[in-house]
Amino acid sequence: EDQVTQSPEALRLQEGESSSLNCSYTVSGLRGLFWYRQDPGKGPEFLFTLYSAGEEKEKERLKATLTKKESFLHITAPKPEDSATYLCAVQGAGGYQKVTFGTGTKLQVIP
């Protein structure tokens, strides 16, 4: 069974203080790893898809990287509007190739 573990569960940063969120996974044949952002009372919003180890993608202050066992979401010089829960998910090659989500990291950026 595919598994996704995210750490830390919660992270509090000062504005401008860079950090990284971790997503460790076990999956039978990785088809894709996804990062989503979820604001309170809203559905997850797509950020990135990574397909193979070594791949990196960037969007504004966010950069996602992928290895064979984990992915990192690096946040550079965060702003208060980056406060949200960040969800990691994997799609494996087994079963109906369903997507399995982690429990998320709740990020709070303080002005």
Partner 1 sequence: EAGVAQSPRYKIIEKRQSVAFWCNPISGHATLYWYQQILGQGPKLLIQFQNNGVVDDSQLPKDRFSAERLKGVDSTLKIQPAKLEDSAVYLCASSLALAGRTDTQYFGPGTRLTVL
Which of 56, 67, 98, 110 touches partner 1 by CB under 8 A?
98
In the shown chain, the binding pattern of residues 19 to 38 toward partner 1, with x for contact by CB under 8 A and - for none, equals: ------------xx-x-x--
The DSSP code for 42 is S
* Residue 20, both tokens: 């990284």
From candidates 16, 51, 58, 69, binder to partner 1 by CB under 8 A? 51
- Neighbouring C-beta atoms of residue 94, cutoff 10 Å: 12
The least CB distance from residue 70 to partner 1, in Å, is: 16
Binding segment for partner 1 (CB under 8 A), chosen from 11-19, 56-64, 73-81, 89-97, is: 89-97
Strand partners, 106: 10, 85
Q: Is 50 in the site for partner 1 (CB under 8 A)?
A: no
* Residue 64 CB contacts under 8 Å (≥ 6 apart), including other chains: 35, 47, 48, 50, 56, 57, 58, 71, 72, 73, 74
Task: Enumerate binding residues for partner 1 (CB under 8 A).
Answer: 4, 31-32, 34, 36, 41-46, 49, 51, 87, 89, 91, 95-104
